[in-house]
């Protein structure tokens, strides 16, 4: 049984010309430094088509990096043992990304609780409430702030698909995201 949160249309695929990266567990220990390196790489690939305009190049690189970094950080932070696969493409002025990883049952439940709030609320209002709660209560976690910022301030769209768990309690998670990027021909 699969469970979907967000926009079902995003789960159709990431496009024709896909850049695919696999982050493997191993002797280097998959960690935070890989998030920034991976996000920089994806952002640079996407932004290169805008190199004629310094401002567009910087804008696209920043936006794609922020989105990709948030997705990869969440995958690293909440993953169960296993690789993380990042797919990215640009088509019709839309940057699309898909991050696939495994999560354990506890992380799946907690994330689904968060998503059930995020996907039914106004992201701008929920972002303000979460920021205010974090400022007044030291015990409040910042869960969802990055996703809410992307939804509210960057117009990002998301979908999450939780697959059926395996006998070890690991659940496949696919996170889909998209943001609009400028027309590269300008």
Return the higher-pLDDT residue of 57 and 81: 57
- In this prediction, residues 75-95 reach a mean pLDDT of 89
Give the lowest-confidence range in 13-17, 35-39, 123-127, 170-174.
Answer: 13-17
Question: From the CA atom positions of the chain, what is the Rg in Å?
Answer: 17
What's the mean per-residue pLDDT of the chain?
87
Instruction: Please tell me the predicted confidence (pLDDT) of residue 141.
Output: 59
Shortest CA distance to 160 belongs to which of 122, 121, 124, 111?
111
DSSP state of 26: S
Shortest CA distance to 23 belongs to which of 87, 66, 78, 67?
87
Instruction: Please tell me the predicted confidence (pLDDT) of residue 162.
Output: 95
Q: Is 29 left (phi over 0), alpha (psi -120 to 50) or beta?
A: left
Instruction: Please tell me the predicted confidence (pLDDT) of residue 165.
Output: 82
Distance CA 174, CA 98 (A): 7
- In this prediction, residues 108-130 reach a mean pLDDT of 88
Helix (H) or strand (E) holding 60: helix 54-78
Q: Does residue 113 register a pLDDT over 60?
A: yes
């Amino acid at each position: 049984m699969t469970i979907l949160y967000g926009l079902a249309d995003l789960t159709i695929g990431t496009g024709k010309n896909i850049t695919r990266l696999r982050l493997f567990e191993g002797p280097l220990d998959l960690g935070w430094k890989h998030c920034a390196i991976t996000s920089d790489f994806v952002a640079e690939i996407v932004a290169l088509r805008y190199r004629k305009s310094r401002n567009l190049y910087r804008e696209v690189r920043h936006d794609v990096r922020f989105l990709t970094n948030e997705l990869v950080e969440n995958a690293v932070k909440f993953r169960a043992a296993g690789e993380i696969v990042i797919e990215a493409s640009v088509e019709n002025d839309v940057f699309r990304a898909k991050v696939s990883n495994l999560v354990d049952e506890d992380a799946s439940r907690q994330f689904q609780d968060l998503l059930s709030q995020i996907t039914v609320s106004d992201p701008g209002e929920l972002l303000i409430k979460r920021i205010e709660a974090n400022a007044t209560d030291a015990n409040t976690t910042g869960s969802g702030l990055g996703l809410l910022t992307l939804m509210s301030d960057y117009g990002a769209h998301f979908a999450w698909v939780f697959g059926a768990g395996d006998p070890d309690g690991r659940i496949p998670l696919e996170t889909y995201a998209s943001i609009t990027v400028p027309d590269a021909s300008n």
